[in-house]
Chains A and B, each alone.
Chain A
Amino acid sequence: MTTIGWIQILLFSIVIFAVTKPIGIYMFRIFEGDRQPLPRLFGPIERLIYRLCGVDPKEQQDWKQYALAMLLFSGITLLVTYAIERLQHVLPLNPAKLGPVPADLAFGTASSFTTNTNWQAYGGESTMSYLTQMAGLAWHNFISVGVGIGVMLVIARGLTYRLQPGAPKTIGNFWVDLNRSVIYLLIPFSVVMVLVLVSQGVLQNFSSYIELTTLEGVKQTLAMGPTASQVAIKQLGTNGGGFFNVNSAHPFEGGTPLANFLEMVAILAIPAAQTYMYGLMARDTKQGWTLFGAMAILFFMGVTTAYYFETKPNPVTQGLAVDQTAGNMEGKEVRYGVANSVTWATATTDASNGSVNSMHDSFNPLAGLVPLVNIQLGEVIFGGVGAGLYGMAIFVLLSVFIAGLMVGRTPEYLGKKIESREVKLAMLYVLIFPLLILYLSAWSSVTPYGLSSLNNAGPHGLSEILYAFSSAAGNNGSAFAGLNANTPWYNIAQGLTMLAGRFLMIIPVLAIAGCMVGKKAVPESLGTFPTNGTLFVVLLVGVIIIVGALTFFPALALGPIVEHFVALAGKVY
């Protein structure tokens, strides 16, 4: 670990902290303000879209109507993307003359982008036409984020709204939330980001691929394409699907150190800002900062662990003629080094981003454990845009329920009682996630079709399978390479896992919001369980670690943990 490395990690943290409040205020004004920001610029576009779609923005939905609209919308967009993939050979903007995407891969990919996972079992430049990339996939980079933001808004409204007795239990309008998130937040932020990225040498063109001969005399094809526009939203929307196969490790995706840094900031900027917006909605910004605090602690725990173990030499190559003074450089870009690689790896898995600038598969076992655990904790450490905060809300409710009794009152959060129905729904949310990951990993680990595409045996192989399903269930999208996921089993199992990990988990969240929104709020008193402050931060961190770790510890023990001890003993598989 070096001083310059720590300075970079610290600088990153300071920038995230600095943008939290301003972006949070901006988001609050978009979604909860009486007047949206920049009305002259965005207002006409917003109204035009309502008119085109026949949406009455004043209409309010209850949680069931909201859920129905969200599911219908996602279902239809899933089908549209599937169709584009299958028909790309007859559609325009296909200079590389790529054929149709195979059915299983097309399903896996459509699920992947609809669920904001962006798991890529394919190499973008060799499988997807420009049209598919832009209209089929990049489009989802915006709207799937809008869906996530919508769900977050619903649970935040459910917890913070104080309805008059007898008022209808409505929680917003899906179409309005979706439309506003794209028009006011994602597009403007992306435009700015694209301009900055292009200034840093990130590619943006529609050229055909370039054939050239390298200095070594080898023929090489250089893939081209509208990269910067993809990269901006893949980072901002915690999407993570790279334009190129190696994602942001590719020099055309993340060229300069500044581009790399800004792309990292873009991963966590909006998720961090959500906490401040939430605080504003709760009429107590300390509530938001409390969530931010818990997330920040978990982020530092992750990045420190990863950084510490990644600066250790790789025990297997020790003694060989490899210089390991800079740490374990396998699978890393020299221009980023260990500090920038582990920070990115931590951030991208804290959030449901999944973009990478180094290969997590090559990390030392316990450093590679960090991204895996980050995902398995439910991606609530800042988390995905929208998804991070609603996942965190579930953990908050559980923490309050488990420990709230200790102050001698039945549990309440923001003045609202947490009763059996909410506990039931929260437990449903908590159950689905490990069920998907553990069940499918266990299945894959003992079946020939699960093992046939696995390149590593032993504990590392298990880690790769675990990582694949964790990434799918958590809608992360990053991968431990070493597992070829472009097989019928993995495409279909992953596709279903992603859909379940997104939509089966969203329903209980919306239902909880529906229960909570109409509840009477008890005014705060000295006897109220404090949910803003250091004590709650500690409790929340404890519950997240214990509940997450306890669930996955046995599986992890057989994967990265065992691998660590085995590798120290110099054994390889």
Chain B
Amino acid sequence: MADTRLKERSLFDPKIMRPAIWDSFRKLAPQNVIKNPVMFVVEIGSVLTTLILLRDLIAPTAGSQPLWFTFNVSFWLWFTVVFANFAEAVAEGRGKAQAAFLRRMRQETTARRLINGKREEKIPASSLRKGNAVVVEAGEIIPGDGDVIEGIASVDESAITGESAPVIRESGGDRSAVTGGTKVLSDRIVVRITASPGESFLDRMIALVEGAERQKTPNEIALNILLAGLTLVFLFACVTLVPMALYSGVATVSVTVIVALLVCLIPTTIGGLLSAIGIAGIDRLLRKNVLAMSGRAVEAAGDVDTLLLDKTGTITLGNRMATDFIPVDGATAEMLADAAQLASLADETPEGRSIVVLAKEKYGLRGREVTEIGARFIPFSAQTRMSGCDMDGRAIRKGAAEAISAHVQALGGTVSSHIDGVVHGISDTGGTPLVVSEGNKVLGVIHLKDVVKGGIKERFARFRAMGIRTVMITGDNPRTAAAIAREAGVDDFLAEATPEAKMRLIKDEQTKGKLVAMTGDGTNDAPALAQADVGVAMNTGTQAAKEAGNMVDLDSNPTKLLEVVEIGKQMLMTRGVLTTFSIANDVAKYFAIIPAMFMSVYPEIAPLNIMHLASPQSAILSAVIFNALIIMLLIPLALRGVQYRPIGAGPLLARSLVIYGVGGVIAPFIGIKLIDLVLEAVGLV
């Protein structure tokens, strides 16, 4: 394996942790923190309390809080910001480790540029321009992204995809795209460069995983506004508390305490983890080998209402397989199976092999060697539209119904009407009938079927439970399509699909307000990929398809779309639960801080101290420490994401509300009390 970057990396890999710790302090720079309004308020609070600490060190005033208290509050406020930075740094670190690996591959190569299609000149790859043609031979690295315009070659793309098996790239058709940095293993190709240096796929990939190009997604922006608004509300509440406290007879209102209250109330938990959640979402996709071109695409994936799935490769295995032998006109099933197997022994197509295997499994007929039994193999030809073998005077043929009936009638045999019925029956259910004859006698029909992938029906049921409609896209006729659709359990299908029909379907769905996701690989898929809200291009596909989509699946596995949707949903859910948790937390913090603030003027309010915290200072400090630590504790959840369960929105919401809403109210009561006990035990308060 050329590559380990796609392997599951432990959440707290020391290789990521060490630079992340350094980064989380470096990110304290105000120009960085200001991007996050909630954390910016915390940082200003930290500066304020630190200044008060300094003042009290130099010239303590009568109303000053004890030094150890101000020190501890300042310390933990700073660490609230550091922990939030740490979450972001860890999330970015995972991407950075991958980017470093990619960068190593982007080594400076020499390109053999073709001038006027004849003369070659050697230039550095970095001076290649769009439209240049280059020659690449076995053992050389492809100098840039492009399309093969001449020749065919096997290429090792493991650097990009992690897949070690080489792939074939050839001029023309849908397998012409090559990626810079991959290696030609055999033959010679001429490549037309389609991306200037710095804009190549590899460059974009590095920028994306590094987070350099990260832009806030629409929902993230909206959530940020909500959090900033809540922060302002609490700012009012805390600032206006000062005059009201003065009215109530509090001699001097401690700024340290007000700042502590403010920081505890503003939604620091979600504020601190929000960007980490977004980065982690892209990262989770990358670990599934899907490269999202933007966070917006990941968010859209969670919202998808309709999935368009290509039949071949996604829903079915793509090869027709023999599933049944149906004897006719007095032949027995064994006779038919025997003849069918003999006719297919030398047939290396997947269909042929499946016939041999079925005969073996069903009737115990062992595969025989063609040479051993002295048979002469008749290959398929476009003229006869049959294949088969001749041996010991037996002439066995298999082929399409019309071809065989012509062949049999030519030999003086008759074709009974029974066969017609069987043939039509198979066609009607979406299968392909293959008629077998021996001499001038028809033995029966082999039922070839497009086999639906195992477990796919359950997956679609899962999607139905999520409220997502699946539509199968196929070039088959409506009858065949309906049969396969029924078997696979998709909600709908588009038969005899043309690129135009596909495009129309996407637009229709979108007019109804739905978000559409699809996969595609060919150039003719490009417009639809661009039109779809989530377009996943296969890495084996054309450059045009990759440009048009907003995600690229490096494994080129169309089934991946299903995972993409789940990851999108996970990311949105993680945001939701942490927002709910963060706001619910405030209830307990009030009960810790408010009694502590006013105990001096109104000792009667002691019953409000329902947690029985040791002292006013201990209460405030415990709340601040809890507030900081909870960010740290929730980093794994933010990075991993909450688990999505396809149980329908209602039950899912009920579950989340209980865990993160009710739990969010209760947890801090316990946490703050525990911290208070620890503070008391170590004798700090």
Contact = CB atoms under 8 A, between A and B. Distances in A.
A195 B577 CA distance: 55
Interface in A395-420: 398, 401-411, 415, 418-420
Interface stretch (A223-231, A378-386, A430-438): A430-438
B580 A403 contact: yes
Interface stretch (B115-123, B521-529, B645-653, B674-682): B645-653
Given A409-B569, A546-B584, A424 B225 contact: yes
A413 to B, nearest CB: 13
A406 to B, nearest CB: 4
B236 A434 contact: yes
B132 to A, nearest CB: 43
Interface stretch (A42-50, A69-77, A207-215, A560-568): A560-568
B243 interface: yes
Interface centre among B221, B570, B576, B644 (most CB of A within 10 A): B576
Contact of A554 (B241, B570, B649): B241
Given A410-B219, A565-B604, A551 B650 contact: no
Contact of B226 (A409, A423, A554, A569): A423
B512 interface: yes
A111 interface: no
A443 interface: yes
B465 A407 contact: no
Contacts of B572: 405, 408-410
A234 B579 CA distance: 42
Interface in B194-253: 218-219, 221-223, 225-226, 228-230, 232-234, 236-248
Interface of A: 165, 398, 401-411, 415, 418-420, 422-424, 427-428, 430-431, 434-435, 438-439, 441-443, 445-446, 458-459, 461-462, 520-523, 525-530, 533, 535, 538-539, 542, 546-547, 550-555, 557-558, 561-562, 565-566, 568-569, 571
Interface centre among A418, A428, A547, A554 (most CB of B within 10 A): A554
20 contacts: A401-B223, A402-B583, A404-B576, A405-B219, A405-B577, A405-B579, A406-B577, A408-B570, A431-B233, A431-B236, A438-B240, A445-B243, A458-B248, A522-B513, A530-B649, A550-B233, A550-B234, A552-B237, A555-B241, A561-B605
Given A526-B466, A528-B467, A557-B598, 13 more contacts: A407-B573, A410-B219, A420-B222, A431-B233, A431-B236, A438-B240, A459-B248, A527-B466, A529-B649, A546-B586, A565-B605, A566-B604, A568-B604
A557 B445 CA distance: 86
A407 B604 contact: no
Contacts of B605: 557, 561-562, 565
B660 A406 contact: yes
The 5 closest A-B pairs by CB, nearest first: A527-B467, A405-B576, A427-B229, A408-B569, A525-B467
Interface of A is mostly: helix
Interface stretch (B299-307, B451-459, B545-553): B299-307
A179 B335 CA distance: 90
B31 interface: no
Given A402-B226, A406-B656, A533-B650, A553 B247 contact: no
A139 B648 CA distance: 52
A462 B248 contact: yes
B562 to A, nearest CB: 14
A401 B570 CA distance: 16
B604 A529 contact: no
Contact of B512 (A461, A523, A550): A523
Contact of B233 (A423, A434, A523): A434
Interface residues of B, number: 77
Given A430-B233, A442-B243, A546-B586, A525 B305 contact: yes
B653 A407 contact: yes
B575 interface: yes
Interface of B: 218-219, 221-223, 225-226, 228-230, 232-234, 236-248, 261, 265, 299, 302-303, 305, 464-469, 511-515, 568-570, 572-573, 575-577, 579-580, 583-584, 586-587, 590, 594, 598, 602, 604-608, 644, 648-650, 652-654, 656-657, 660-661
B613 to A, nearest CB: 16
A501 B220 CA distance: 30
A427 B229 CA distance: 6
A403 B464 CA distance: 22
A461 B244 CA distance: 11
Contacts of B606: 565
Contacts of A461: 247
Contacts of A435: 236
Contact of A431 (B218, B229, B513): B229
A542 B661 contact: yes
B304 to A, nearest CB: 9
Nearest to B642: A406
A402 B468 contact: no
Contacts of B594: 553-554, 557
A530 B240 contact: no
A400 B278 CA distance: 20
A468 to B, nearest CB: 14
Contacts of B652: 406-408
Contact of B573 (A408, A565, A568): A408
Contacts of A569: 604
Contacts of B305: 522-523, 525, 527
Nearest to B299: A410
Contacts of B466: 408, 526-527
Nearest to B220: A420
A410 B594 CA distance: 36
A550 B590 contact: yes
B237 A403 contact: no
Nearest to B576: A405
B513 A415 contact: yes
B226 A446 contact: no
Contacts of B228: 427
Given A402-B579, A526-B648, A555 B299 contact: no
A401 B236 contact: no
A565 B599 CA distance: 12
B77 to A, nearest CB: 19
B247 A445 contact: yes
Interface centre among A410, A415, A427 (most CB of B within 10 A): A410
A446 B246 contact: yes
Contacts of A458: 248
Given A403-B653, A420-B218, A527 B229 contact: no
A423 to B, nearest CB: 5
Contacts of B242: 442
